[in-house]
Amino acid sequence: MIDFAIPAELAAERDRIRRFVVDKIVPYERDPRLTSHGPNDDLRQELVELARAEKLLTIQAPVELGGAGLGGRSLTHVEQAVLYEAAGWSTLGPVAMNCAAPDEGNMFLLSKVANPQQIDEHLSPLIDGRQRSVFAMTEPGGAGSDPGQLSTTATFDGERFTVNGRKWLITGADGAVSWIIMARLAANPHLPEGPTLFLTDGRQPGIVIERTMNTMDRNYVGGHGVVRFDDLTLPKEALLGEAGQALRYAQLRLAPARLTHCMRWLGAAERAQHIAVEHARTRTAFGRPIGEHEGVSFLLADNEVALHQCRLTIWHACWLMDQGERARHESSMAKSFVSEELFKVADRCVQVLGGIGISDETVVEMIFRDMRAFRLYDGPTEVHKWAIGRKVLG
Ligand SMILES: Cc1cc2nc3c(=O)[nH]c(=O)nc-3n(C[C@H](O)[C@H](O)[C@H](O)COP(=O)(O)OP(=O)(O)OC[C@H]3O[C@@H](n4cnc5c(N)ncnc54)[C@H](O)[C@@H]3O)c2cc1C
């Protein structure tokens, strides 16, 4: 049976998260430690401790690995959707609760692929909120929408790997400890060649952070880095999963990760709509509240429809995954649809607010800017549509 009802326990947890975000996290949105390169590590740690105190830290991780879960068990994808939406009310909510990108997707991947030693050294401290991680794939002129263009190389002499290459748009690079690096393993007599993942501590000489890029978003801790691997030497234990399987692991990570982006941004878009609705009720023009002008009420109505459609789309893809399906097609449809629709919601909210919409008098401006990037990462809309189109055409 398909059931859209939210069970009482889940609704109570959703409301608890919303209260936590509103009461404890929203006040930090004006903290100077929320810099143009995202929240800094000092702010992140302070927020993480607030969530830890409320037992709201890393709710998504499997409980057997230290995740908070719900009622002593790990969350289903649908439950995750309901709770992440509440967390997303502030872009700092997922940071506090340790369910923001890229750590969240990285934790998911590591929980599926890491060996016991890697779990101890990397996954456990990540789940505990003590360290951060990166997923380093995208390259200037190389891997991007098309990961097959991967140009970072790795060689293997039977004992050690040597990695060389350059990456950019690497979220959280500045300050992250656990680095998942994608490189193309050259032919060698010991291991399969091809795109391969490595997991290592980022604090070593072969990893050079050239700079943090200036971008229009500022919701990710550490911003987005340009990094270089200069004869990075790694022991054979740094191999993550099997050699030559990086693209398969990236897909494993991406399907749920693109949905969790949708969940968090849905919460942020709802917040923007809430602010726009309040404004439409109280701001008057031409003798009445602006919300009573049809042009404004239609903008708000379009938002309401879009928010509802996005929620249902997310829940359906989550439900499929809860049935054990990979839901690649549905998560791809959800990602492209939700990112485009929510950005339109944020834009209409800016419009309803009039001139202050583009100012930091409200958080709508920040949501609008931060959300723009969502149409690009984890697959630009056009790439998803291209894949959907190919499936449609058989
Ligand atoms: C905020 C942000 C954070 C990011 N964080 C990370 C990170 O932590 N780690 C990481 O590795 N990467 C990260 N990225 C990079 C992200 O994964 C890439 O931006 C994305 O994969 C697109 O690659 P590209 O930027 O090289 O664009 P390109 O591949 O150069 O594509 C440019 C445009 O071409 C079009 N296009 C490409 N292929 C097709 C097609 N088949 N059909 C139709 N149109 C097409 C699309 O419109 C696309 O936007 C991040 C990006 C952003 C914006």
DSSP state, residue 73: B
What is the pLDDT at residue 255?
Answer: 83
Q: What are the tens digits of pLDDT across the range 43-59?
A: 999 999 999 999 999 99
Residue nearest to atom 39 of ligand 1 (CA): 383
What is the pLDDT at residue 1?
Answer: 65
In this prediction, what percent of the chain has a pLDDT beyond 90? Answer: 97
What is the pLDDT at residue 85?
Answer: 98
380 lines ligand 1 (CB under 6 A): yes
∠ CA(99), CA(37), CA(131), 5° rounding?
Answer: 40
Contacts of 166 (CB under 8 A, 6+ apart): 139, 140, 152, 226, 227, 228, 229
CA 357 to ligand 1 center in whole angstroms: 28
Backbone angles phi and psi of 4, in degrees to 5: -95, 0
Mean pLDDT for 331-341 is: 98
Token readout for 257 is 């990760």
The pLDDT of residue 152 is above 80: yes
pTM of the model: 0.97
CA 391 to ligand 1 center in whole angstroms: 21
What is the pLDDT at residue 288?
Answer: 98
The pLDDT of residue 124 is above 90: yes
What is the pLDDT at residue 158?
Answer: 97
Q: What are the tens digits of pLDDT across the range 66-106?
A: 999 999 999 999 999 999 999 999 999 999 999 999 999 99
What is the pLDDT at residue 15?
Answer: 98
CA 141 to ligand 1 center in whole angstroms: 11
Contacts of 256 (CB under 8 A, 6+ apart): 77, 105, 108, 321, 331
Give the chain's largest Cα–Cα span. 80
Contacts of 290 (CB under 8 A, 6+ apart): 279, 280, 283, 284, 296, 352
160 bridge partner residues:
235
Task: Give the 3-state secondary structure of residue 378.
Answer: coil
Mean pLDDT for 140-158 is: 97
What is the pLDDT at residue 2?
Answer: 73
Domains of the chain: residue spans and CATH: 8-100 (1.10.540.10), 133-243 (2.40.110.10), 247-393 (1.20.140.10)
- Probe residue for ligand 1, chosen from 132, 377, 381, 384 as the CB with the greatest number of ligand atoms within 8 Å: 377
157 lines ligand 1 (CB under 6 A): no
- Which numbered atom of ligand 1 lies nearest the CA of 138? 11
Q: What are the tens digits of pLDDT across the range 292-301?
A: 999 999 999 9
Contact yes or no for 195/182 (Cβ under 8 A): yes
The pLDDT of residue 134 is above 80: yes
138 lines ligand 1 (CB under 6 A): yes
